[in-house]
Amino acid sequence: MRFPHGRLRRSAVLAAAMVAAAATTGLVQGTADAAVSCEVTYATTQWGEDGGGFTASVDVANTGDHIAGWTLTFTFPGSQRLTYGWSAQWAQTGRLVAASVPAGSISPGASAAVGFAGTWRGSNPRPTDFAVNGVPCVAAPPPSAAPTPVPSPSPSATPSVVVSPADIVVPEGGSALIHVRLSQKPSYGWVTVDSERLLGDPDLSIGPRLLFPADQWSTWQSLTVFAAEDDDAADGTATFLSRISQLPGSGVALWTARELDNDVATPSPAPSPS
């Protein structure tokens, strides 16, 4: 039996629509079945009195179905600012912070750890509104502080950055040197040390990063600190952080620089004799 071409075309279109509908239904059903459930543990180490810096480790535990590709979001309750992060793509808009791991996955019962460094002023309260892919997570209580044993140095231990001196004075319009080395020999080749200003006078800046061959870990290298010319007569200060780029969040050193101003303050006019 022969069918007109119009009837054949309508039959083919109908069959394709049924296949597409079935595929869409399966996709929607699969997405609905994958329920996100999570618990977040947020722990910090901070320094400073009325303000300073801090590092935070964020552990995301999957208490639900498998998660493939995920973004963690939370809101800073105070004046905290994100400086840099690791193990995720970090960004901050206003007080909202996002850590994205597009190619990452978390199996049921497993967890993933990310972290970042930042600054704070006034206080450094913990975020509580954690969410993964828009689904709210349970905020676990912070781990109780326990005495940290001091390990004996060993060739396989993690090196840290050593800075000397910890405070430096820089003449305005000039520069000064601060010296950097590692605490011990690393277990891999080249080590990169990055430094950045955490807070303080923006007129104070630093030179390029330092590179340490593994067999020259104890050799002091010089880092140049610059103080730009300004119009005020105040001695500005800034806090800097030096870290090993291959080991983000560990082995950091904090140090400060003070600008020695060369401007003469304008004297107040003397009162005229009565």
In this model, does residue 109 exceed pLDDT 90? Answer: yes
pLDDT of residue 45: 86
Of the candidates 268, 199, 265, the residue with the CA atom closest to the CA atom of residue 232: 265
Q: What is the pTM of this model?
A: 0.51
pLDDT of residue 157: 57
Strands, sheet with 135-136, edge to edge from the N-terminal-most edge strand = 89-93, 96-106, 67-75, 131-132, 135-136
pLDDT tens digits for range 75-104? 999 999 998 888 899 999 999 999 999 999
In this model, does residue 189 exceed pLDDT 50? Answer: yes
In this model, does residue 274 exceed pLDDT 50? Answer: yes
pLDDT of residue 41: 95
Q: Give the chain's length.
A: 274
In this model, does residue 154 exceed pLDDT 60? Answer: no
Token pair listed for 175: 């520069």
Phi first, then psi: give them for residue 18, nearest 5 degrees: -65, -40
90-113 burial, b at 16+ Cβ within 10 Å, e below that, comes to bebeeeebbbbbeebebeeeeebe
Domains in the chain and their CATH numbers? Answer: 38-139 (2.60.40.290), 161-260 (2.60.40.10)
| pLDDT-derived band at 200, boundaries 50, 70, 90 | confident
pLDDT of residue 250: 61
CB 215, CB 164: distance < 8 Å: no
